[in-house]
Amino acid sequence: MKFRSDPSRIRGSIAPVITPFTAEGALDLASLRGLVRWQLAAGAHGVSIGGSTGEPSAQSVAERIAAIRAVAAEVDDAVPFLPGTGSAKLDETLEITAAAHEAGADAVLVITPYYARPTQEALYRWFATVAGEFPDLPIVIYNVPSRTAVDVAPETVARLHRDLDNVVGVKETTKDFEHFSRVLHLCGRELMVWSGIELLGLPLLALGGAGFISAVSNLAPWAVARMYEAWEAGDHEAARELHYGLHPLVDLLFVETNPAPAKWVLARQGRIASDHVRPPLIPLTAQARPRVEALLAQGAALLDET
């Protein structure tokens, strides 16, 4: 938790690691630890677990906490650790956030409560409650309207950032790029904004964003991290080359519902023991495999170098 006291240091490519399961469907902590070691070796600037790519809604609270503890131990303060701790229920959110706090998380990603479609005032009170319970823990709002059916308005983000010292950032997983700009305009550059949309990660840096929490880093962690580093070093052409080179791998992720395609690739590579996804998802279908293989071949040059 050495980054907790200065969240402005949490920048770059934060890898949202998948949650591996055994072929029987049990939590596979050994494979999870291996994935984290791979991310660290590839130069990821941070590690996350329990976002949409990690299938949190298909896990029990105990399983999510076990995964958080395993990742925290493997990261061991080498890079920032930002677990997702949100749920559709406030008591679960507080319980998982408390466990992440105890495990040494540097910040937590708190998703908007899904299905209920709360108003902006309700969202404000939700995030204010979580932030108030953990005043020394940086809180990152996780806005993903395509999965939650509610969008955190820029004005609500600004209000939370203004009223609560530990609301330090937002992960914006929306394809409305104007939304990114309005958040930064209202909140100021001190708010940390990460893109959760793979192909908007590089453009966000031009607006002053902090980086990206990009699912494609599950396949090409080296390339995603280098893209950020090239931009920060002023080598914008190299950053653009990596951005466009990643296109096939980004498309691969969504041939069927994320994370099924990524898990299929990782299992085939031997990085995880099984490509199992929990219901209501299903593993990559046979009909989709040729498309995934073709995209994998197109993006082969950017597959990990470590």
Two structure tokens written together for 279 = 């219901």
Report residue 211 CA to chain centroid gap: 11
Sign of the CA dihedral running 75, 80, 94, 281? negative
Out of 3.20.20.70, 3.30.420.40, 3.30.70.1140, 2.60.40.1180, the CATH code matching 8-302 is 3.20.20.70
Q: Match 């453009």 to its residue by tokens.
A: 203
Please check whether residue 161 is in contact with residue 191, taking contact to mean a CB–CB distance below 8 angstroms: yes
- Give the sheet arrangement for strand 211-212, strand by strand: 46-49, 12-17, 211-212, 192-195, 167-172, 139-143, 108-111
Cα–Cα distance for residue pair 284/259, rounded to 1 Å = 9
Alpha helices in 85-220 (DSSP H): 90-103, 120-133, 145-148, 154-163, 177-187, 201-207
Please check whether residue 16 is in contact with residue 53, taking contact to mean a CB–CB distance below 8 angstroms: yes
pLDDT of 305: 63
pLDDT of 189: 85
Report residue 90 CA to chain centroid gap: 21
The pLDDT averaged over each successive group of 10 residues in the chain (306 residues) is 91 98 98 98 98 96 98 98 97 98 98 95 98 98 94 97 98 95 94 97 97 97 98 98 98 98 98 98 98 98 76
Cα–Cα distance for residue pair 175/135, rounded to 1 Å = 31
Structural domain boundaries in the chain? 8-302
DSSP-derived secondary structure letter, 283: P
Cα–Cα distance for residue pair 213/211, rounded to 1 Å = 7
pLDDT of 173: 94
pLDDT of 1: 79
DSSP-derived secondary structure letter, 82: -
pTM, entire model: 0.96
Cα–Cα distance for residue pair 83/100, rounded to 1 Å = 7
Residue 28 to residues 36, 55, 146, 162, 272: CA-CA distances in angstroms? 13, 13, 28, 40, 9
Q: Which residues are catalytic?
A: 142, 171
Two structure tokens written together for 13 = 């490519």
How many of the other CB atoms lie within 10 Å of CB of 306?
Answer: 10
